[in-house]
Structure 1
Amino acid sequence: MNAVTIIVPIFGIILIGWAAAVAGLLSERVSDGLSEYVFAIAVPALIIGTLTRPGLDGEVAWGYWFSYFGGAGASWLIGSLIARRRKGVGRQGAILHGFAASQSNTVFVGVPTILQAYGEEGAFPLFLLLAVHLPLMMGCATFLIEADADRPLLARLRGLALVLLKNPIFVALLIGMAMKAGGVAPGGPVKALIDAFSATASTCALIALGAGLKRYRVLFDLPGALVVAVLKLGVHPLVVWLLAFHVFSMPAAYAGVATLFAAMPVGINAYLLAVRYRSETGLVAASVLVSTLLAPFTTIAWLTFLGRT
């Protein structure tokens, strides 16, 4: 029942956001505005507030990184290989298929789910992984897609750095880790302000995600979307679980966080990247929707399997 208790509020809010958008109570402008607020203010405040919280410490285990990104790499490779066998899917499209099969929805679904499941003991490994996940996954995808572009390598790397430095979540992670390393913890009115914004992050993120799902078309390529969803919700966390619990040594909370992080549905960044390169947008959009619709059931299964019941 604990697994259900964790999942129902999270995906219930997503469902309410979607229903409100379908009923016309929330417009696309509201969804976009909420998404911008979550990315630019609420989640950065949550990250800084969490990372600078006294007593939030943990170890950096190399096995943690190998477990998560080993699973992501396996799912990405399988997804790309399957895509290359499909008619009309070229090299760039295959990369985007693989990226969608390994890119987790961290901000909208992952953060609230994992914090609910693991609490304080999961906060440090969660934000530690979040700090590396965004630049590494987006960086690899961008680099692979543009590998045969005319721009020189240095120009591509500089462009990637600029993209990351303009990302409020990445900047908040840098600020939070720098403040933590320097022993700086906000207090007084500053802390109250950060806490006020942090408290709105989960609800606003879930409402924005739910309302945003209205624009995705599930029937564009349902078989392809199901393949990506199975890789994302099944293969990715399964490989991470095998590596984290049976190959490498790390605290149990770290292994659980890595597995749950991998079990999240396809991230919005996969769709944004597809739009940017004008390739496989319909398939990736359908994958976001299908994986999000299936995620309540698979997440309950993983929470039960991990003993969070």
Structure 2
Amino acid sequence: MNSRSRLLILLVVTLVSAVAVSGYVLRVRAGGTDDAGATVRLDTAGQILFRDTAAGSGFGRIASAPLDHPGAPRTTGHLLCDRLYAAHGTGICMQRKGPVPSTHVTVLDAALRPTREVKAEGFPNRARVSASGAMLSWTTFVQGDSYLRDDPSTRTSVLDTRTGRLVDNIERIPLTLNGKPYHAADVNYWGVGFAADDNTFYATVRTSGRTYLVKGDLAAWTARTLRTNAECPSLSPDNTRIVFKKRVSASANRPWRLFVLDLATMRETPLAEERSVDDQAAWLDDHTVMYGLPRHGGGWDVWAVPADGSDAPHLLIRDANSPAAVR
């Protein structure tokens, strides 16, 4: 065999190897399997689920990282989501689709298989799953695309996975505002989160230019305001506190700050994160909250900060947003 033949064979072998490796990498990304054979599941304890925002083929896909080492190499699944959340082996994946703004909401089982799909108006915005995995909620923007608008219009739905009952818009729930029955055409709900009993819920209501934290009862089909100026509540795992964003400025650049509300005393504590957070923060554990923040120059990251107002925020996961801890 002459030198030219040996060189030709070497080139062919190299090309075949490169194609095989590339095909493997693509299969890894598409199937959610990393080099160690791990897959994204929603029922694996000790992980953080999130939306991958790193540039590349994994952008927008559901991903996971270990709770005790969130900066470790991530496992990326096959589903594309604009907003996601999961608990107890049940998940929500919200995707914006079509030229006319609409959102496809997919309910997922532990293996990321769809169990139900719902089409909603508007842009994906908020999603929550109760700790038991039984109750789901999601919010879309129907008019405008920001809470900073004077006339934001939202649609918030609630799904009971045990019965299959879907309430496509909870704005019809009877509302008690400041102790009195209240009715108005401009009532908007968003950011629903559920307590451990799968019946009590907390949410934001906006009406007449003001926002309120409300507490609701699904079985009784009632809701009442607890306080003003509280948006996107998220209940702690022990169900004793709520993290929320509070409007602290009229500036469009830094309008909100994160606070934690003790439900027993109704005393609020500002968190050490002084940047404006336009997110429904989630709880990493009973002592720490996490949230997505846009990065200067582009991209998103997940940050964390102690829930008692101490210490300082720290980067939890780079190139990520929409986090959910699976404990």
Task: State the TM-score bracket (shorter-chain normalisation).
Answer: under 0.3
The TM-score, its normalising length taken from structure 2, stands at 0.23
User: Counting helix residues as a fraction of each chain, which structure ranks higher?
Assistant: 1
Give the TM-score taking structure 1 as reference length: 0.24
The structure whose residues are more often strand, as a share, is 2
Q: Which has the larger radius of gyration?
A: 2
